Chain A
Amino acid sequence: MATQTISLGKRASSIERELSSIDRRRRIMDLTMRGLCSLAALLGAGALFLLVIHVVVNGVAALSIPLFTEMPAPIGTPGGGMAHAFVGSIIIVGLACLWGIPAGLLAGIYLADYQTPRLGGFVRFTADVLTGIPSIVFGIFGYILVVTRFGGFSGLAAAFTLGVITLPIVARTTEETLRLVPHELREAALALGVRRWRVVLSIVLPTARAGLITGAMLALARAAGETAPLIFTTLGNNFWNVDPTRPMAAVTLTIFQYAIWPYKNLHEQAWAASLILLLVVLLINLTVRLAARSAPSR
Chain B
Amino acid sequence: MQTEIRRPVVLEPSVGSTPLVRTGAEPPPRSRRAMTAGPDRIFEIVVLSASLLISVLAILLLATIVERGSEALAQFGLGFVTGTTWNPVTKEFGVLPAIYGTVVTAVLALILAVPIGIGAAIFLAELAPRWLAQPVSFLIEMLAAIPSVIIGLWGLFVVVPVVRQVESFLGHNVGFLPIFSGPAFGIGVLSASVLLAIMVLPIITAITRDVIRVVPMSQREAMLALGATQWETIARVVLPYGRNGIVGAVILALGRALGETLAVSMIIGNTFKISPSIFSPATTLASLIATQFREADSAIYLSALMAAALVLFGITVIVNIMARLLTWRLSAFSSGS
Q: Mark A97-112, 1 if CB is under 8 A from B, else 0.
A: 0000001111101110
Report the count of interface residues on A (CB-CB < 8 A): 94
- Structural contact, B142 and A227, CB atoms closer than 8 A: no
In addition to A30-B232, A51-B150, A197-B43, 13 A-B residue pairs with Cβ atoms within 8 Å of each other are A29-B231, A41-B128, A44-B140, A51-B143, A134-B261, A136-B289, A137-B316, A140-B65, A164-B57, A196-B40, A196-B43, A225-B148, A260-B266
Given contacts A107-B51, A168-B54, contact A259 B309 (CB under 8 A): no
- Structural contact, A40 and B50, CB atoms closer than 8 A: no
Quick check: is B332 within 8 A (CB to CB) of the other chain?
no
- Structural contact, B51 and A171, CB atoms closer than 8 A: yes
How many B residues are at the interface, by size bracket? 35 or more
Given contacts A34-B127, A281-B145, A282-B145, contact A43 B317 (CB under 8 A): no
Complexed CA–CA distance, A79 and B171 (Å): 41
Minimal Cβ-Cβ distance residue in A for B115: A40
Complexed CA–CA distance, A144 and B258 (Å): 22
Selected from B39, B68, B143, B294, the residue in CB contact (under 8 A) with A197 is B39
Given contacts A137-B65, A195-B15, contact A123 B51 (CB under 8 A): yes
Q: What's the minimum C-beta distance from B157 to chain A, rounded to whole angstroms?
A: 7
Given contacts A38-B123, A48-B142, contact A133 B316 (CB under 8 A): yes
From B17-25, B80-88, B178-186, the one touching the partner chain is B17-25
- Structural contact, A228 and B153, CB atoms closer than 8 A: no
List 25 A–B pairs whose Cβ atoms lie within 8 Å, in order of A's numbering: A30-B230, A40-B117, A40-B123, A41-B120, A41-B123, A44-B116, A45-B140, A48-B140, A55-B153, A113-B47, A117-B27, A123-B51, A135-B259, A136-B312, A137-B313, A140-B309, A141-B61, A141-B64, A144-B65, A191-B16, A195-B15, A226-B147, A227-B149, A255-B149, A260-B266
Selected from A126, A271, A289, the residue in CB contact (under 8 A) with B153 is A271
Q: Cβ of A105: which chain B residues have Cβ within 8 Å of it?
A: 50
Complexed CA–CA distance, A95 and B332 (Å): 36
Quick check: is A298 within 8 A (CB to CB) of the other chain?
no
Give how many A-B residue pairs fall within 8 Å (CB-CB).
282
- Structural contact, A183 and B24, CB atoms closer than 8 A: yes
- For chain B, residues 112 to 170, give those with C-beta under 8 angstroms from any C-beta of chain A: 115-120, 122-124, 126-128, 136, 138-140, 142-143, 145-154, 156-158
Q: Cβ of A132: which chain B residues have Cβ within 8 Å of it?
A: 255, 316-317, 319-320
Quick check: is B306 within 8 A (CB to CB) of the other chain?
yes
Selected from A171, A188, A232, the residue in CB contact (under 8 A) with B54 is A171
Complexed CA–CA distance, A105 and B47 (Å): 9
Q: Cβ of A285: which chain B residues have Cβ within 8 Å of it?
A: 142, 145
- Structural contact, B57 and A167, CB atoms closer than 8 A: yes
Q: Cβ of A33: which chain B residues have Cβ within 8 Å of it?
A: 231, 234-235
Q: What's the minimum C-beta distance from B3 to chain A, rounded to whole angstroms?
A: 12
Selected from B39, B126, B202, B261, the residue in CB contact (under 8 A) with A135 is B261
- For chain A, residues 84 to 132, give those with C-beta under 8 angstroms from any C-beta of chain B: 103-107, 109-111, 113-117, 119-120, 122-123, 126-130, 132
Q: Mark A212-242, 1 if CB is under 8 A from B, else 0.
A: 0000000001001111100110000000000
